[in-house]
Amino acid sequence: YFMKKNYAFTKKKWFAWLGSGVLPIKDRLFPKIVLAGALFIFGLTLYTNQVFHGGVWGTLHNKSVKPKLEITEGKIDHNGLSFDVYRTEGVDVYGAWMIDITLTDAQGDTVINYQQDDLASMDKNLIDNYYIAKVKPGAHSLIIPLGAKANINFKDEVLMNLPKGEYTLKITDISGANWDHSITK
């Protein structure tokens, strides 16, 4: 557009670098500049691979291999048990499959336990998703895709009559990974 309008600054050397046109480089220097750019990009690729995954030397720490959940806002009240779950890491092409959610008291006794079939048949209205990626019941478990954050509610008469105290919420993935969250009633 600027070249068609014949603005004076389009004739400057810097415009060829930022805008369009023939680069002001001698033909014999061009291969050296291309090689230097390619080596810079190659080095940057290796550097980021090492920093984020330990993939050049040292122990590989690929965070996209196994899921990671964050559990927050846990509470037990007259409405039942509610908590926020947020999947922050793991394989992005499919969800983490939660096959067990257990609430235990301070002595380690199980208060409630929702297993695979219970989670697969969970009422969708008890899940309040915050983002486009949705936590939802699947065919065999509760599915939590990468980047999904939701408030999950469980209604149970046992929860309404619980004494005050410390409780632990434990969520287990099909891989065997589990996450704990302490809740004070």
Q: What is residue 63's predicted lDDT score, i.e. its pLDDT?
A: 63
154 and 96 in a single domain? The answer is yes
Three-state SS at 91: coil
pLDDT at site 182: 94
> Do 82 and 35 have their domain in common?
no
The answer to whether residue 97 sits within a structural domain is yes
C-beta separation of 148 from 48 below 8 A = no
Q: Write out the chain's pLDDT in tens, 185 residues.
A: 888 888 898 888 888 888 877 777 888 998 998 999 999 999 999 999 888 777 778 777 666 667 888 999 999 987 789 999 999 887 777 778 899 999 999 999 999 999 999 999 999 999 999 999 899 999 999 999 989 999 999 988 888 788 888 999 999 998 888 999 999 98
The answer to whether position 3 is within a domain reads: no
Residues 124 and 161 in one domain: yes
14 with 104, same domain: the answer is no
Judgement on whether residues 33 and 89 belong to the same structural domain of the protein? no
Backbone angles phi and psi of 31, in degrees to 5: -60, -35
33 secondary structure, DSSP code: H
State whether 126 and 161 are in the same domain. Answer: yes
Q: Which residues form the domain of 39?
A: 8-53
Domain membership flag for residue 63: no
Are the C-beta atoms of residues 133 and 145 closer than 8 Å to each other?
A: yes
**CATH code at position 116:** 2.60.40.1930
pTM of the model: 0.67
Q: What is the pLDDT of residue 64?
A: 63
Residue 1 domain-assigned (yes or no): no
74 and 39 both lie in a single domain: no
Number of domains comprising the chain: 2
Q: What is the CA radius of gyration of the chain?
A: 27
Residues 47, 99: one domain?
Answer: no
Q: What is the pLDDT of residue 151?
A: 96
Beta-bridged to residue 97, according to DSSP, are 143
Check whether residue 167 and residue 131 sit in a common domain. yes
State whether 148 and 179 are in the same domain.
yes
CA distance 106 to 104: 7
